[in-house]
């Protein structure tokens, strides 16, 4: 009699029945379309079975070979940053009430999730000082790309979108991917090689009646703060184009919010708001616009709104006010790329922002600015090193140039050997900056960690880049 395992539902009889239903005699028949020459005709070198405890120990052993970024020895940023996450954030955001109810298609059974996303939108609207915030996008890059397409949908007879010459190259690539099928022309605006600031003369020269929108980053991808935002805003609006601004949310504890200089559309990365780096994801795209119907109707993503019953006693409720996904409207008119994962990350961001509050956001912004400026000042004392190499004012990230024949790659390799992950190498993406790296300093970097970095760079420079 065949032994039937009590915990494995697929018995031999069930397997046979399933195969017969599809006209197959054995499991081998399922792979008959694979040519014999591509098959492995030997036993695989698989280890013997192990107990759960043995597997757990082995996984811990492998994980122990990794180095944690929380120790402050990682100075790599460029869009995704290492920030401290209060313990309350994952504790609340990971509750089953959120994790199991992330898709809010049926309002009558999704009031808790809808209210949480409504609070997420409201918190960001207050921080950005702008009217309308959607309930998230995939990430910063796709948010910028969607903003470019949105400006053309609003300004229907225009097909050009201007971006700064210092734009994040990865974002630039994503924008091209999104806009090329829509026949949107992406044009870079030049920048000052010393200050990094957008060239106002080049911007004016490129502004015409074909420009649908103009995009800037503040702080920029290279870290410096764009101090001409009011002038840029006026130039853009004088030509009836839309002003799109990309920001770092945490910088708004100390910097002027984009709504304060009349941004029409705002995009940002929400990973900084309580989400771990996790080897590159998930990320969170923040997308907002001012209260204008022609903008709102063309806005990608979902909007959660608050309503009430028609008669007293009034009862409050939450609904999806705008949901332009392809399953709701015609595919060619769909403007949403939101998915379930981003809703969960938005919940995390809402918990993080609520935990910090206004004073916490300001304190965090000041702390980052103090530590980053200290790091740049100390690095600048090293012979053959210039920091910041571009721009006078910066907040979290800054460019460092290496001279005297020492390359950025040499510095990078040397730092790794000394147990430090340096900044992002900029040599290929921005050759005009010479041998340069983009360093990122946040609240997790202690003075000791920064001083260790400075000593490591100084040792590398004194050795002429030799390892």
pLDDT digits (tens, 9 = 90+) for 396-412: 999 999 999 999 999 99
| 330 pLDDT more than 60 | no
Is the distance from CB of 398 to CB of 388 less than 8 angstroms? yes
- Rounded CA-CA distance 360/363 in Å is 5
Least confident interval from 4-18, 81-95, 168-182: 4-18
**Domain-by-domain residue ranges, the chain?**
69-82+358-462, 88-354
pLDDT band with cut points at 50, 70 and 90 for residue 7: low
pLDDT in the model for residue 1: 45
Sheet of 160-164, strands arranged across? 132-133, 285-289, 265-269, 242-247, 211-217, 160-164, 185-189
| 10 pLDDT more than 60 | yes
Q: Distances from the Cα of 128 to the Cαs of 121, 287, 307, 401, in angstroms?
A: 10, 10, 24, 33
What is the per-residue pLDDT across 335-363, written as a single tens digit (0 to 9) for each?
666 666 788 999 999 999 999 999 999 99
pLDDT in the model for residue 418: 92
Q: What is the mean pLDDT of residues 201-205?
A: 97
More confident site: 463 or 131: 131
Q: What is the mean pLDDT of residues 202-225?
A: 97
Sheet of 436-440, strands arranged across? 385-386, 397-402, 436-440, 424-425
Q: What is the mean pLDDT of residues 271-291?
A: 90
What mean pLDDT, rounded, does the chain reach?
91
pLDDT in the model for residue 98: 86
| 272 pLDDT more than 50 | yes
* Class in CATH terms, 69-82+358-462: alpha beta
Q: Who's near 355: CB < 8 A, 6+ residues apart?
A: 86, 88, 89, 274
Fold of the 88-354 domain? 3.40.640
Q: Who's near 216: CB < 8 A, 6+ residues apart?
A: 164, 198, 226, 229, 232, 244, 245, 246
């Amino acid at each position: 009699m065949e032994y039937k395992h009590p915990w494995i539902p697929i018995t031999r009889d069930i397997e046979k029945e399933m195969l017969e239903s599809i006209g197959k005699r054995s499991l081998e028949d399922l792979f008959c379309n694979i040519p014999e020459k591509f098959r492995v005709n030997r036993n695989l070198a698989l280890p013997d079975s192990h107990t759960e405890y043995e597997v757990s120990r082995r996984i811990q052993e492998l994980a122990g070979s990794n180095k944690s970024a929380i120790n402050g020895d990682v100075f790599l940023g460029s869009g995704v940053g290492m920030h401290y996450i209060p313990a309350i954030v994952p504790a609340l955001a990971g509750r089953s009430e959120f994790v199991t109810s992330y898709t809010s298609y049926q309002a009558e059974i999704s009031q808790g999730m809808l209210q949480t996303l409504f609070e997420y939108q409201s918190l960001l609207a207050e921080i950005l000082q702008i009217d309308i915030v959607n309930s998230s996008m995939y990430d910063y890059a796709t948010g910028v790309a969607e903003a470019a397409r949105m400006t053309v949908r609003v300004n229907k007879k225009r097909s050009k979108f201007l971006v700064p010459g210092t734009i994040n190259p990865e974002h630039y690539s994503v924008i091209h991917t999104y806009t090329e099928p829509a026949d949107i022309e992406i044009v870079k605006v030049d920048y000052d090689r010393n200050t990094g600031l957008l060239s106002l003369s080049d911007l004016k020269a490129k502004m015409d009646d074909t420009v649908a929108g103009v995009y800037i980053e503040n702080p920029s991808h290279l870290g410096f703060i764009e101090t001409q935002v009011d002038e840029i805003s006026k130039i853009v609006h004088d030509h009836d184009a839309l002003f799109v601004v990309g920001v770092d949310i945490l910088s708004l504890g100390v910097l002027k919010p984009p709504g304060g200089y009349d941004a029409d559309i705002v995009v940002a990365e929400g990973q900084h708001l309580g989400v771990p780096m996790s080897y590159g994801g998930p990320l969170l795209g923040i997308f907002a616009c001012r209260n204008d119907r022609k903008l709102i109707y063309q806005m990608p993503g979902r909007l959660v709104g608050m309503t009430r019953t028609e008669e007293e006693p009034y009862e409050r409720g939450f609904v999806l006010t705008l949901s332009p996904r392809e399953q709701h409207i015609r595919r060619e008119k769909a403007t949403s790329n939101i998915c379930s994962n981003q809703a969960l990350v938005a919940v995390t961001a809402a918990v993080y922002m609520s935990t910090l509050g206004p004073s916490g956001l300001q304190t965090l912004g000041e702390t980052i600015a103090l530590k980053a400026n200290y790091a740049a000042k100390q690095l600048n004392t090293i012979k053959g090193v210039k920091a910041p190499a571009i721009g006078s004012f910066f907040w979290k990230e800054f460019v460092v140039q290496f001279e005297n024949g020492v390359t950025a790659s040499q510095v990078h390799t040397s730092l790794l050997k000394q147990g430090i992950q340096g900044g992002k190498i900029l040599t290929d993406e921005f050759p005009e900056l010479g041998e340069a790296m983009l360093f990122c300093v946040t609240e997790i970097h202690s003075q000791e960690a920064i001083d260790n970095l400075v000593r490591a760079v100084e040792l590398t420079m004194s050795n002429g880049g030799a390892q």
